[in-house]
Chain A
Amino acid sequence: MRINCPHCGTRDRREFTWSGADVALNRPAPDAGEAAWDDYVHLRENPAGASRELWYHDPCGTFALVERDTVTHLVGDAVLAEKVAR
């Protein structure tokens, strides 16, 4: 499995650490209410199919937002997480 680091290009999976779904990029506003925060902190999807995940490229210290299909194992585009963070 290979992942595209936005800085370094395509690299082997062993250089990356999985950081879960892209939840951290969709942090609710401080006053969004209990339900939204409960969802943000505790509830996770378990998708079969297209997913958006954060992967950390350990050697260069970059978080990438990676599109990955959990059924076909296809790894798609990756962009700097910073570019999409709110």
Chain B
Amino acid sequence: MARLIAKSPLAGLVPVEVGGLTLSEVETGPVTSVAPFKGKQTAVSKALKAAVGLGMPKVGRMDRKGEARALWVGRGRALVMGAALPDLEGAAQTDQTGANAVLRVEGPAVEAVLARLVPLDLRATAFPVGQTARTMVAHMMASVTRVGDAAFEVMVMRSMAQTLVHDIGGAAKAVAARDLV
């Protein structure tokens, strides 16, 4: 069999500095989609907690414990990253490792830049650290998560990686040109 070389979704695109922002890739480790069957939400959450120390995240939350992260990504579904999962009774589990590109966007202008692309109020008062939203970045479906005072993680499907870096780079240059922040 041919020897295949693993390539991360954002390889060759980042790290890059643009318009005062630092764009870098988040190494997620193994990623599993967990979707509890009807009525199994609590049982699956308990089993998940026993396995990685994190339950199913609440709507709009990303929880962390050590390397493991549980990200809410939609109705009745979470992505568990950074930990291999055992089979959980009562949930549909699929391996999503490498399916998504996770871009860390950091810098003082991050809110002003994302405000040009995301139709949401992302200021810290409305969108604190640990908050996540399923929304759109430009025309892409995305998960946007605040991970720091001036840092966000934006997750899109792997096929959109180049567009994401291009769009955020363009917005960052435009904000920098106006010297708004």
Chain A residues with CB under 8 Å of chain B are 7-8, 11-12, 14-15, 58-62
Distance A11 CA – B144 CA, assembled complex (angstroms): 14
Please state if B75 and A59 are interface contacts (CB–CB under 8 Å).
Answer: no
Assuming A12-B119, A15-B135, is B141 touching A59 (CB within 8 A)? Answer: yes
Chain B residues with CB under 8 Å of chain A are 59-60, 74-75, 77, 119-120, 133-136, 141-142
Assuming A12-B119, A14-B119, is B77 touching A59 (CB within 8 A)? Answer: no
Instruction: Report chain A residues within 8 Å CB of B120.
Output: 11
Nearest 9 pairs of A and B residues by beta carbon: A59-B134, A12-B119, A60-B134, A61-B74, A60-B74, A62-B75, A61-B75, A7-B59, A59-B135
Please state if B141 and A58 are interface contacts (CB–CB under 8 Å).
Answer: yes
Instruction: Report chain B residues within 8 Å CB of A60.
Output: 74-75, 134
Please state if A11 and B119 are interface contacts (CB–CB under 8 Å).
Answer: yes
Distance A62 CA – B73 CA, assembled complex (angstroms): 11
* Contact among A7, A11, A15 for B75, CB-based, below 8 A: A7
Name which residue of chain A comes closest to B141, CB basis.
A59
Distance A78 CA – B60 CA, assembled complex (angstroms): 18
Instruction: Report chain A residues within 8 Å CB of B135.
Output: 8, 11, 15, 59
Q: Which of A7, A59, A61 has the most CB of B within 10 A?
A: A59
Instruction: Report chain B residues within 8 Å CB of A11.
Output: 119-120, 135
Instruction: Report chain B residues within 8 Å CB of A58.
Output: 141
Please state if A8 and B133 are interface contacts (CB–CB under 8 Å).
Answer: yes
Distance A8 CA – B118 CA, assembled complex (angstroms): 14
